[in-house]
């Protein structure tokens, strides 16, 4: 288990809090009138209680509530009933049949935004009443969930944005149509009555729990509730704190959508940005305004769990014949997290009620984000396909999945996370470990894309640990280039956080897209304003500290001829033949390229040539793409200017020689900092302690994103692990090298950011 993870929030003043849980007239009778009503089971798990060292653990199983796979229908049905009754000026004793007939006459339309189960429950009530329902969903909702909602007869409205945006859109539309009623468990300014009714509806579950416990001769001492917008948690908290002997309330949220915990820590309602989770119904960025005051006052502890923990909890419940989806299993994951904590509030007399809020459903099996070690992280990252779509022979997967994993990894540790995505489908992730202030900031910049998987000989996504040349290695595409280096940086940040070593400066981990092609990710990073006092790019340098590398400029030169039939030598001008004049001049020009004292000579080569259409015609154009590998002092403008002058000189010698304006199609700067730069000295000092000797400092032949960072004013070095098979048929990174990198980076963080 990760020792660097986000801590549990505990409320120091909750023990003195009491409240009243109002008995809602007609609520239980209303639910009992619905077809299929029966109390859901409260199932003891004695083996789990023994494992946790408590008296009893019981699961309130909401996998089949009124023929729907979630508790949500309790609140949605009561909220709908009260809202429609109020709209039609009916008393709350009106029969459903009479309400349905009048609602159809008045053209009532139910609207709701949803992550899944709430919208399906509202749609079910609309079907019972025989009226229209429009359910608003985010564009990221899967087709299966949409299908289950539309299967209740609702119209699906897709919103470009997240759940919170869907709520706002549903609210807006409800104000624009006659008979439109928003049935939403999220309270907004001016919209609080219906969410309050929905909260009331969950009271039936609390009544059932108390009755079922009494039948077993038990009284709850703790109740664990999932939190989305907080409606159920509000009901649970007020119920628990209204008992003669108050019951402890534990709230659980996804690591990646912990809006309640963020608000509790801030002391005020705090919206957050969320990232993807399999706990879909809990993926909410804002706590309901009506729930927040009670939750702030009454929740004893706030726990966040990972998707992987929720998945494993669902597997355990299934082994105990309790079917649950990840939202339902989150309560179990939370109590397991509590039990693992020193000084836990659990004891041998604890009677714990877990609210399992949904039945089983399909979801992608998540990866474990609790991993902290460089070797294990390299293995995990290698298993995630992040092949660059602009390079792959088949469609490349892109960086979405690996960004989701890294966002969850940072969130699991309570670290600040930012997603940068200027090109759809090409995201980068920035994680920040904040220092106390006043110190120097350090960035680790590592690319998360890989070259194509097509050329890999075996399983490119294995991530297995094996032996090559007598050494343990991690195998797979990208293990060396450069998921291993990035993993070492992540592991170092986790180690720094776990050690509670006081840092003054920030540590920034930029996991960037597209370095293998156009470096879109690092360009986006710089454009977004991210800077640091220094940066390390952990590309695979085999333990060499690289302080310099060449840049490059691609220049496209088109020599122009005159198209004509091959027999028409009078009018035809051969562009390909005239290109020979250019190539000879280019070869002479190459001898005059500058030489750098560290990087050596600048070079050029002709990478591409294209001309002609068929053998029987004079070619009208021949295009040559020349790659210049540049040293400091060379610029795109100077090189294009030289080529233009070279072409003009040929034209003076050969009047029939014509050309188009030469143009640079891609330019990347050279990178060079002094070998005795303080950053180089500090990295070398830290590496010597981890590795036993000072690593060499030299230039490298390849280009990388360090040049862009240095150009933006961030002094950068390239320093990473050893391995074999860059872009080859088999690729690996050495395990021992990863361990040394992790130690080096951990010390660098402590020394540089102290």
Q: Is the distance from CB of 601 to CB of 590 less than 8 angstroms?
A: no
In this prediction, residue 270 carries a pLDDT of 97
Residues 6+ apart with CB under 8 A from 717: 534, 535, 536, 537, 545, 546, 547, 673, 679, 680, 683, 706
- Domain layout of the chain by residue ranges: 48-64+211-356, 374-531+698-753, 551-669
- Whole-angstrom Cα distance, residue 497 to residue 414? 10
Quickly name the fold that domain 374-531+698-753 has: Aminopeptidase (3.40.630)
- Whole-angstrom Cα distance, residue 316 to residue 310? 10
- Whole-angstrom Cα distance, residue 389 to residue 403? 15
In this prediction, residue 500 carries a pLDDT of 84
Given a cut of 50, the residues of the chain with pLDDT beneath it are: 1
In this prediction, residue 501 carries a pLDDT of 87
- Whole-angstrom Cα distance, residue 724 to residue 466? 13
> Is 551-669 assigned to CATH 3.30.465.10?
no
Q: pLDDT digit string (tens) for 118-141? A: 999 999 999 999 999 999 999 989
In this prediction, residue 2 carries a pLDDT of 56
Please give the model's pTM, rounded to 2 decimal places.
Answer: 0.92
> Is 48-64+211-356 assigned to CATH 3.40.50.2000?
no
Q: How many CB atoms lie within 10 A of CB 164?
A: 21
3-state SS class at 161: coil
- Whole-angstrom Cα distance, residue 665 to residue 562? 25
Residues 6+ apart with CB under 8 A from 321: none
3-state SS class at 8: coil
Q: pLDDT digit string (tens) for 59-89? A: 999 999 999 999 999 999 999 999 999 999 9
Instruction: Could you list the beta-strand ranges (E) of 602-647.
Output: 603-611, 617-618, 621-630
In this prediction, residue 392 carries a pLDDT of 79
In this prediction, residue 1 carries a pLDDT of 46
């Amino acid at each position: 288990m990760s020792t660097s993870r986000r801590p549990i929030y505990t409320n120091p003043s909750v023990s003195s809090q009491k409240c009243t849980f109002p008995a809602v007239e007609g609520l239980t009778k209303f639910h009992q009138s619905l077809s299929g009503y029966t109390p859901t089971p409260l199932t003891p798990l004695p083996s789990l209680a023994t494992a946790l060292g408590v008296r009893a653990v019981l699961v309130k199983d909401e996998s089949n509530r009124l023929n729907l796979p979630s508790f949500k229908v309790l609140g949605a049905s009561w909220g709908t009933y009260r809202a429609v009754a109020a709209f039609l000026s009916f008393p709350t004793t009106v029969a459903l049949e009479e309400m349905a007939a009048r609602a159809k006459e008045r053209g009532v339309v139910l609207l709701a935004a949803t992550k899944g189960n709430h919208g399906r429950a509202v749609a079910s009530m609309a079907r019972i009443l025989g009226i229209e329902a429009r359910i608003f969903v985010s564009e990221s909702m899967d087709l299966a969930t949409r299908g289950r909602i539309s299967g209740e007869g609702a119209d699906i409205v897709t919103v470009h944005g997240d759940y919170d945006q869907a709520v706002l859109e549903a609210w807006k539309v409800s104000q624009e149509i006659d008979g439109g009623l928003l049935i939403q468990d999220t309270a907004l300014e001016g919209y609080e009555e219906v969410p309050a009714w929905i909260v009331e509806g969950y009271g039936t579950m609390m009544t059932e729990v108390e009755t079922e416990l009494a039948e077993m001769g038990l009284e709850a001492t703790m109740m664990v509730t999932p939190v989305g917008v907080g409606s159920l948690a509000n009901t649970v908290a007020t119920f628990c704190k209204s008992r003669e002997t108050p019951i402890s309330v534990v709230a659980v949220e996804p690591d990646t959508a912990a809006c309640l915990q963020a608000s509790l820590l801030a002391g005020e309602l705090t919206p957050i940005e969320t990232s993807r989770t399999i706990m879909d119904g809990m993926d909410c960025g804002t706590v309901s305004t009506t729930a927040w005051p009670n939750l702030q006052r009454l929740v004893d502890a706030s726990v966040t769990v990972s998707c992987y923990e929720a998945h494993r909890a669902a597997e355990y419940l299934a082994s105990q014949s309790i079917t649950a989806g990840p939202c339902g299993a989150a309560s179990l994951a939370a109590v397991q997290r509590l039990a693992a904590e020193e000084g836990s509030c659990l004891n041998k007399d604890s009677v714990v009620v877990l609210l399992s809020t949904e039945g089983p459903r399909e979801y992608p099996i998540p990866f474990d984000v609790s991993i902290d070690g460089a070797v294990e992280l390299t293995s995990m990252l290698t298993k995630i396909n992040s092949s660059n779509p602009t390079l792959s022979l088949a469609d490349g997967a892109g960086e979405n999945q690996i960004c989701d994993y890294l966002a969850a990894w940072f969130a699991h540790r309570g670290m600040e996370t930012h997603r940068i995505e200027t090109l759809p489908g090409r995201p980068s992730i920035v994680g920040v470990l904040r220092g106390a202030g006043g110190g120097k900031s350090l960035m680790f910049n590592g690319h998360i894309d890989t070259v194509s998987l097509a050329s890999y000989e075996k399983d490119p996504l294995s991530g297995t640990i094996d032996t090559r040349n007598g050494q343990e290695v991690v195998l797979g595409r990208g293990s060396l280039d450069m998921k291993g280096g990035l993993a070492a940086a992540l592991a170092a940040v986790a180690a720094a956080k776990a050690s509670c070593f006081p840092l003054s400066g920030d540590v920034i981990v930029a996991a960037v897209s597209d370095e293998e092609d156009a470096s879109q990710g690092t360009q986006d990073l710089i454009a977004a304003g991210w800077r640091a006092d220094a940066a390390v790019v952990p590309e695979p340098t085999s333990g060499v500290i690289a302080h310099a590398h060449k840049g490059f400029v691609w220049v496209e030169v088109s020599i122009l001829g005159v198209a004509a039939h091959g027999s028409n030598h009078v009018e035809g001008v051969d562009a390909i033949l005239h290109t020979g004049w250019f190539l000879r001049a280019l070869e002479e020009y190459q001898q005059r390229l500058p030489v750098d004292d560290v990087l050596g000579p600048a070079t050029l080569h002709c990478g591409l040539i294209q001309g002609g259409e068929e053998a029987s015609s004079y070619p009208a154009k021949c295009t040559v793409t020349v790659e210049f590998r540049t040293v400091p002092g060379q610029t795109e403008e100077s090189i294009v200017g030289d080529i233009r002058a070279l072409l003009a000189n040929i034209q003076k010698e050969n009047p029939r020689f014509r050309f188009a304006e030469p143009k640079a199609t891609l330019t990347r700067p050279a990178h060079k900092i002094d070998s005795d730069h303080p950053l180089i000295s500090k990295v070398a000092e830290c590496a010597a302690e981890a590795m036993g000797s000072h690593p060499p400092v030299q230039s490298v032949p390849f280009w990388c994103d360090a040049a862009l960072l240095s150009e933006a004013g961030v002094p950068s070095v390239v320093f990473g692990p050893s391995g074999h098979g860059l872009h080859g048929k088999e690729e690996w990174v050495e395990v021992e090298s990863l361990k040394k990198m992790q130690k080096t980076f951990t010390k660098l963080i402590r020394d540089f950011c102290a």
